[in-house]
Chain A
Amino acid sequence: MRATPEHLLVERCRQGDETAFRELVDQYKGLVFALIARSITNRARAEELAQDVFLKVHKGLPFFRGEAKLSTWMYRIVINVLSQERPELATASLDDRDDEDRPRVQPAADDRAFGDLVMKDRLQKAIEQLPVQYQVLINGHYLKGMRYEDLAEALNMPMGTVKTHLHRAKRRLRHLLETEYR
């Protein structure tokens, strides 16, 4: 089944068409839920937050003027919801220098644990420690269906900066794994 063009769907939603809103939820639930579930490991909580995103979309649709793409606007809402959930990470610095001061251990020669299930768990815990913007960047970048442009617009960053921040985010992730989650 072909998806309804975005502007038509938005227009129908704005006219109070509940079927259109249901269509919108069906269209975006996968991305929104996956994005949130990658930051919030508690599945029930992730589900609740994903629902909150759509409730905010429903409330905000009458005021949505279409200056940004609907998906971009929704990703911004996801960032807000995640920021409210983890306020201490919402305002965390993205500056590289903060990371430089952190004492790090050098990677050990024998690092066999890397790549196994334990490592996956450690990676998840490390991601959860990243600032919300970095979380969304990493989680979104490796999620099929989200484009660089979407991330740039949602995070209010120029396209070129997205790549720089993505590298910084992964670098911080590597540093976290070298220190806290060994």
Chain B
Amino acid sequence: MRCDDLEPLIEGIADGSLPMSADDEAHVASCALCSQRIARARSIEGLLAMRDVAQPPAAFAHTVMARVVQERWKAERAIDLGFNLAIAAGILVIVAAGAGLLWSLGMLSVTIDVDAIVQALDTTGTGRLLSQVQTIAMSAVLLTMALVLWWWAEAARE
């Protein structure tokens, strides 16, 4: 019973942070188990204090800085890819909208009849054309924004 009471205090006794009472000392002096536990805890304490301190390699900071540059490059590449995709998407939408406009006017054929376009512009009215024009305008805005962002990112990098 006494040994069980002392067991949770062993580490404190071993590192000197918990002073033993006279009763504890008397018990430890007569108990092989507890004195063995304290001896073992003191050995662990000594070994822990004597453990080697591993030193980083000489080029450690240099390697970290190289990895920082590499990570930044990866991030920039991802941003560049995003811009390129946005620009490509913008161009694609403009082309698609243009094709849609021509198709809706019935002019999507191998040869484009300029007269028909002019005539169509005169006759179809703004209602039918407006939706196509809006699409083109929107994609043009998107494209401009992508280009501005790209310019800003490049300027920030410099």
Which residues of A pack against B, CB within 8 Å? Answer: 18, 21-22, 25-26, 29-30, 33-34, 37-38, 43, 46-47, 50-51, 54-55, 58-59, 96, 106-107, 109, 111, 114-115, 119-120, 123, 138, 142-144, 163, 166-167, 170-171, 173-174, 177-178
A contacts with B: majority SS: helix
Are B33 and A174 closer than 8 Å at their CB atoms? Answer: no
Q: In whole angstroms, what is the CA distance A25 to B63 when docked?
A: 11
Are A123 and B53 also in contact (CB < 8 A) when A51-B64, A163-B17 are? no
Partner of A142, one of B49, B55, B63, B68: B49
**19 A–B contacts, CB within 8 A, in A order:** A18-B68, A21-B68, A22-B61, A22-B65, A51-B60, A51-B67, A55-B71, A107-B37, A109-B32, A109-B36, A166-B11, A167-B12, A170-B45, A170-B48, A171-B11, A174-B37, A174-B44, A177-B40, A178-B40
- Nearest Cβ distance between residue A11 and chain B, in whole angstroms? 18
B contacts with A: majority SS: helix
Question: Which residues in A have their C-beta under 8 angstroms from that of B33?
Answer: 106-107
Question: Which residues in B have their C-beta under 8 angstroms from that of A38?
Answer: 51, 54
The answer, yes or no, to whether B47 is at the interface (CB within 8 Å) is: yes
Question: Which residues in A have their C-beta under 8 angstroms from that of B82?
Answer: none
Are B8 and A171 closer than 8 Å at their CB atoms? Answer: yes
Are A43 and B64 also in contact (CB < 8 A) when A55-B71, A115-B46, A115-B47 are? no
Are A123 and B60 closer than 8 Å at their CB atoms? Answer: no
